[in-house]
Structure 1
Amino acid sequence: MDVSGEARYKPTSEFEEDKKDPLVELNLTDSTELWLIQWPINQAPDFDGQELSLKLHRDGHLGSFDGSSGKSYEVVSFKSQDPEATVFLSSASESKIAGKISRRVSLVHYPEPSELQKHNSSNLKEMSQSLKREDVLIESSKSTGLSAQDSGRGNSAVTSTGSLDHSDKRKSKKQKKSEV
């Protein structure tokens, strides 16, 4: 088959080919499955060196294990998460296709109540700091006559003082009605 006449992909000039040796030597056979394993964001799993026996159940559950920190993880895979990705092995000499991802697997950690309390208290601190920053922003925008939403846009017709005047007029109308 002559490939010289076919259109080929040409990367941009910024593209740099990875010349590193592969991290893992794969001896692929026809029965080898490549799995894409995902874990919770910002939570590096702590299961170094553990070996697991997994069995796919009808509900997508493959197994569970405890990490070295004591956290429990569920290993799940769902049909709706069918992967459509290809694995490439790169090396200094050439890159080659290793195969298609055959299963996408997720590590799920259900937090303990104590973890949620830590998480919630840190979220409360962040919210409190955020509200303090907004208060400073609102105070500074009042002095310039702009609302927090208007600052930086420059062409909005509503200002914080204008909206305050409008609500004061409504209050005075209500007061007049109640006095009559």
Structure 2
Amino acid sequence: MEQWVVKRVPVKQLRLVEPPLRDEMQHARLKELSYTAPTFLSSLIDTIAPVPVLAFKRHYYPVRHIPELKLLSQLSPDTSLPIAVKGKANSLDEIQQHCASAQWFDLLHSHDCKDLFGLQTEWLHAFNFRPLLNQKQLCELLRCERTTLYKRHDRLLPRWQSCDEPVPISPSSVDFDSLTAHIPDK
């Protein structure tokens, strides 16, 4: 197993690359939380530290927690943050590949898995992403037919979505006491 170097650097010294799948809602939620919760920044730092980074041309590039680090760089750029240097990258494309792989694993549990094939395809065209699994392996993992894999990333939807329909109000009132009167007390 490789040994990682752990050190502390100010947030402003980290070079942030755009994440492969930008989530503006995540950034907005984090920003809103930072204004409403007084201990938000310290909790955020405790949660993401140490941040895994790759070194490239004497700079550190995080490969995870990019929306959180973007917010920290806006609100508290001088905050010292523990980082774990995973190694050296040979190019910015290699850093982008690491970011995409990390994001793919994060999305695997929170999104409909079949949508991830479309996302992989989009990343392949955008920055030459090398998928972790080929189409056949992904179908075996998901236990689905190849034809059911989505081809477009615009179909990428979270697995848990809020319901837009209002909950219908019952036409009659319910009396809990009358419905449970036949149950004896202990």
Q: Same fold (TM over 0.5)?
A: no
More contact order relative to length (CA 8 Å, sep ≥ 6): 2
Alignment TM class, shorter chain as reference: under 0.3
Structure with larger Rg:
1
Structure having the higher helix fraction is 2
Structure having the higher strand fraction is 1
